Chain A
Amino acid sequence: MSRISVISRRVAGASVSLVLAAGLAACAGPEDSSGGGGSGADGKPAKGGTLSVLNSNPQQDFDPARLYTSGGGNVPSLVFRTLTTRNREDGAPGAEVVPDLATDLGKPNKDATVWTYTLKEGLKYEDGAPITSADIKYGIERSFAAELSGGAPYLRDWLIGGADYEGPYKSKKGLDSIETPDERTIVFKLNKPEGEFPYLATQTQFAPVPKAKDKGTKYEEHPVSSGPYKVVKNENDGEHLVLERNEHWDPKTDEERKAYPDRIDVRSGLDSAVINQRLQASQGADAAAVTTDTNLGPAELAKVSGDKKLAERVGTGHFGYVNYLAFNPKVKPFDDPKVRQAISYAVNRSSVINAAGGSSLAEPATTFLPPQKSFGYTKYDHFPAGETGNADKAKELLKEAGHEDGLKIKLTHSTDKDFETSPEIATALQEALQKAGFTVELDGLESNDYSEKIHNVKSAPGLFLAHWGADWPSGGPFIAPIFDGRQIVKEGSGNYNAAELNDPAVNKEIDEINKLTDLDAAAARWGALDQKIGEQALTVPLFHPVYKRLYGKDIKNVVISDWTGVLDISQVSVK
């Protein structure tokens, strides 16, 4: 018989949880810095030196057409400039969108269906060739090619003719809804009003690609840089990426990227425990190291918070993200609003937060929108459970619903340890709900099985752990996929509207807000809409995660925005 070593299994498991943590980080961006802002060391940031990046996930498919980023990504944004980009500032101002290659955020027509951009003067590629609007059009067109898939679906959904376009390799004609009347002007024609188009223009698909240098799927080995750094080495599909200064990048055209180090060495495929250990030790080259995808875990945080010197080297940030309990009202007894409300009252957010790593790594959530200004956060708590749950109120509601003898329910979660849909969180909820008269059966599913089931309307369980993060810091991409009835996916996997809410009033308000080009006004309306939907108790918001990441001793000028929640590599200095 073969005997399994518990130790080696444990190590294997640790690396699994690392990849998961990294996955979470990859799809989430960082946000709002409360504690980590400011310079990590004395003195002004200066040019020079080599910055090391220690990551779990490789910079896979390093092609602007294939990257799925929020705000252009951290490492990709060093190489790819886009029409607009995120504001590189600490906290809330960092969640604003600002011009990058373009002179402004775009000029919309009256109903926000046509957006016109003008490029800055003197923009050059790493070989000194000028960047033209036709290159940006070409860059977007090639992201429609099947072999270069991977990016966000918005361009396909929004551009006129986008749904049927197959990319420049198959269709020589190009996409008519993108016009380039001259070398510095580009016009986008959309099939519906989209006031948030400037946010979309931060994604890497809006980076220029010179047609003559395009090598299809091989372009990722050496994409032509428009940013402060160019790729000098790309090994094993982004496992080891070395960037050096692009001499043709003119800082006068770029107000956002500081680009202090001369060289940036990105190493990936490392275990998260190893990354955190190396950053703690901060020896040799690791003194000038950061990570862009690995958070501190609860146990590591316990060690770091006990050491003042280490605690100073922790960057804290908030990414727009929510972890919640999702209801599928098609499954009994969750069709009864009283049962959903009873569960909303019964949850013990303190114990859930402890299961998620404690109050330093998660903040209680009573709203679906994350608590940042740019999302239009409007505070509400329709079913106040307090810190530890209101079992009495929940029992009362259960009685009203005709379940005075208690109610048996099933809570579905994934079996991944130390993850946001983990058995630990499910068990904490089970304990709290039990106090309110529920008998909770836990149904743990293997993670692939889990995500397949919960995103398919035919197999979605009645109550499960879910999470959501937006592609840019606004209410639109946060609320619409979850509550817009027209985004219900009836066939196959990919449905995020678990409640299958198809409320004409909600759909109409979403359309109305999308017409607004005043982003602040839109934010306020998203906040109000969130509050309104919240009355239906279709979800139980549980917590908003907080990012805590270590950086090396020599790192200066740490900037953590509310957009990404992690330190911005373009601002960091090592001298």
Chain B
Amino acid sequence: MTEALLVKEAGAVQAAPASGARSFWRRLRTQRAALAAAVVVALLVLVALAAPLLTALAGQDPNAYHPEAVDSAAGGVPLGSFGGIGAEHWLGVEPGTGRDLFARIVYGARVSLGVALFATVVQLALGVTLGLAAALGNRWVDQAISRFTDVVVALPLMVMALALLAIVPQSVPRPVLIAVVVGLVGWSGTSKVVRAQALALKSLDHVAAARLSGWSTWRIARRELLPSLAAPVITYGALLVPANISVEAALSFLGIGIKPPTPSWGQMITEADTWYATAPTYLLIPASLLFVTVLSLTVLGEGVRVALDPRAESRLKVGAAKARMRKRSSR
């Protein structure tokens, strides 16, 4: 009898992801802001992937110098209004070099988005693994991992990244290296969230039942914990991406990020900082794009969080309180 109940319960859990995914999409679709954000993010990714096509269309190369497009005697300020925006240079040119800004922006999207997404994956993978290990391991494993996590939390990310980037040979491809380094130093937040959630879940009846029925730790983690952890982890991940874009920008600013002449948005904003008064478009264009990207990802992240949160469903609907009362009474 007990066994049958357990099997039934386990089956219910197994079925949960399928219906969860369906309801997730349904709930995500009802949020217009999140949908809009998703469209923007998809567009940005598309632009990054199609960078060579788009620059060919514009007839420009991101690294070609156009000294004729700037006023050398005036410090290299772009000739023409709005930073040299025109038929030839769609978004104007970079002061000093005259390099085409449109070409640099679309190629820069590859670096900025690519590095940020890859770094986020690394952070989540590490964070979930270590967080789960701490929650499910014995006292010593938990202590060791948790204290180590505390140390990593306390270490300033930038200093760690600087140190790591300084000792790795220059021959390693820079974007991959930066993504890995940012991933290696930025996983501690995820780990803490996962451990806390997993500990809370562990004490729930269905997990206890699984343990009592002799499931292995690994199986419990996979079947009982991970599905419930998906919501907080995905939410956290959606917020990590914009943060990682900023970190890449800061690293580029410190001169240990992407190597020139490869463009990245962070690098462009860095270079533009002195030009805000005389060539404002040079700063405004990459800065607005970075802003839009970070905003879209944040909104999308919030949308995903809401859609994954089973309790949020009722809050999404008008008259939620009534609905909840009805449910309770029917029980």
The interface of chain A, by Cβ under 8 A from chain B, is 1-6, 9-10, 13-14, 273, 297-303, 305-306, 348, 350-351, 353-355, 357-361, 388, 415-418, 423-424, 426-428, 430-431, 442-444, 446
Min Cβ gap B95→A in Å is: 7
- Asked if residues B75 and A358 are in contact (CB atoms below 8 Å), the reply is yes
The interface of chain B, by Cβ under 8 A from chain A, is 63-65, 67, 70-77, 95-98, 153, 156-158, 166, 170, 186, 188-189, 240, 243, 246-247, 249-250, 253-256, 259-261, 266, 269-271, 273-275, 277-279
- With A1-B243, A14-B274, A444-B259 as contacts: A6 and B266 at CB distance below 8 Å: yes
Min Cβ gap A276→B in Å is: 10
- Cβ-defined partner of A360 (8 Å) among B74, B249, B250, B275: B74
- Asked if residues B74 and A305 are in contact (CB atoms below 8 Å), the reply is yes
- What would be 11 A-B contacts, judged by CB atoms less than 8 Å apart? A1-B186, A6-B253, A298-B274, A303-B277, A305-B75, A354-B67, A358-B70, A418-B274, A424-B260, A446-B255, A446-B256
- Asked if residues A354 and B98 are in contact (CB atoms below 8 Å), the reply is yes
| Additional pairs, 18, CB under 8 Å, beyond known A298-B274, A303-B278 | A1-B153, A1-B240, A1-B243, A4-B157, A6-B246, A10-B270, A13-B254, A297-B75, A299-B275, A302-B95, A354-B70, A358-B73, A359-B72, A360-B73, A415-B256, A442-B260, A444-B255, A444-B260
- Cβ-defined partner of A299 (8 Å) among B256, B259, B270, B278: B278
Min Cβ gap A454→B in Å is: 16
3 A-B pairs closest in CB distance? A415-B255, A298-B75, A301-B75
- Cβ-defined partner of A442 (8 Å) among B97, B259, B278: B259
- Asked if residues B253 and A10 are in contact (CB atoms below 8 Å), the reply is yes
Q: Which residues of A contact B65 (CB under 8 A)?
A: 348, 351, 354, 428, 431
- With A297-B75, A299-B279, A300-B75 as contacts: A9 and B254 at CB distance below 8 Å: yes
Min Cβ gap B138→A in Å is: 28
- With A3-B243, A351-B67 as contacts: A302 and B266 at CB distance below 8 Å: no
- Cβ-defined partner of A361 (8 Å) among B75, B98, B255: B75
Q: Which residues of A contact B189 (CB under 8 A)?
A: 1
Q: Which residues of B contact A446 (CB under 8 A)?
A: 166, 255-256
Give the residue name and chain of the B residue nearest to A10 (CB). Answer: B273
- Asked if residues B253 and A426 are in contact (CB atoms below 8 Å), the reply is no
**Assembly CA distance A70 to B256 (angstroms):** 35
Q: Which residues of A contact B97 (CB under 8 A)?
A: 351, 354-355, 424, 427-428
- Asked if residues B261 and A430 are in contact (CB atoms below 8 Å), the reply is yes
**Assembly CA distance A2 to B244 (angstroms):** 10
- With A3-B246, A9-B254 as contacts: A358 and B274 at CB distance below 8 Å: no
Give the residue name and chain of the B residue nearest to A355 (CB). Answer: B96
Most chain B beta carbons < 10 A, residue from A3, A297, A415: A3
**Assembly CA distance A35 to B288 (angstroms):** 40
- Cβ-defined partner of A431 (8 Å) among B64, B274, B275: B64
- Asked if residues B261 and A427 are in contact (CB atoms below 8 Å), the reply is yes
**Assembly CA distance A423 to B260 (angstroms):** 7
Q: Which residues of A contact B64 (CB under 8 A)?
A: 431
Min Cβ gap B124→A in Å is: 12
- Cβ-defined partner of A302 (8 Å) among B67, B186, B256, B279: B279
Q: Which residues of A contact B277 (CB under 8 A)?
A: 299, 303
Give the residue name and chain of the A residue nearest to B76 (CB). Answer: A358
Give the residue name and chain of the A residue nearest to B152 (CB). Answer: A1
Give the residue name and chain of the A residue nearest to B250 (CB). Answer: A4
- Asked if residues B74 and A358 are in contact (CB atoms below 8 Å), the reply is yes
- Asked if residues B67 and A357 are in contact (CB atoms below 8 Å), the reply is no
Min Cβ gap B254→A in Å is: 7
**Assembly CA distance A300 to B249 (angstroms):** 24
**Assembly CA distance A14 to B186 (angstroms):** 27
Give the residue name and chain of the A residue nearest to B63 (CB). Answer: A431
- Asked if residues A297 and B157 are in contact (CB atoms below 8 Å), the reply is no
**Assembly CA distance A13 to B271 (angstroms):** 10
- Cβ-defined partner of A350 (8 Å) among B72, B170, B250, B274: B72
- Asked if residues A4 and B158 are in contact (CB atoms below 8 Å), the reply is yes
**Assembly CA distance A418 to B96 (angstroms):** 11
- Cβ-defined partner of A6 (8 Å) among B63, B249, B261: B249
**Assembly CA distance A273 to B157 (angstroms):** 29
- Asked if residues B157 and A1 are in contact (CB atoms below 8 Å), the reply is yes
Q: Which residues of A contact B73 (CB under 8 A)?
A: 305, 358-360
**Assembly CA distance A446 to B249 (angstroms):** 18
Q: Which residues of A contact B240 (CB under 8 A)?
A: 1
- With A305-B74, A360-B73 as contacts: A354 and B96 at CB distance below 8 Å: yes
Q: Which residues of B contact A299 (CB under 8 A)?
A: 75, 77, 95, 274-275, 277-279
Q: Which residues of B contact A348 (CB under 8 A)?
A: 65
- Asked if residues A357 and B75 are in contact (CB atoms below 8 Å), the reply is yes
**Assembly CA distance A14 to B274 (angstroms):** 8
- Asked if residues B96 and A417 are in contact (CB atoms below 8 Å), the reply is no
Give the residue name and chain of the A residue nearest to B123 (CB). Answer: A1
Q: Which residues of A contact B156 (CB under 8 A)?
A: 2
Min Cβ gap A21→B in Å is: 12
- With A424-B96, A426-B260 as contacts: A417 and B74 at CB distance below 8 Å: no
Q: Which residues of B contact A359 (CB under 8 A)?
A: 72-73
Q: Which residues of A contact B246 (CB under 8 A)?
A: 3-6
**Assembly CA distance A443 to B171 (angstroms):** 9
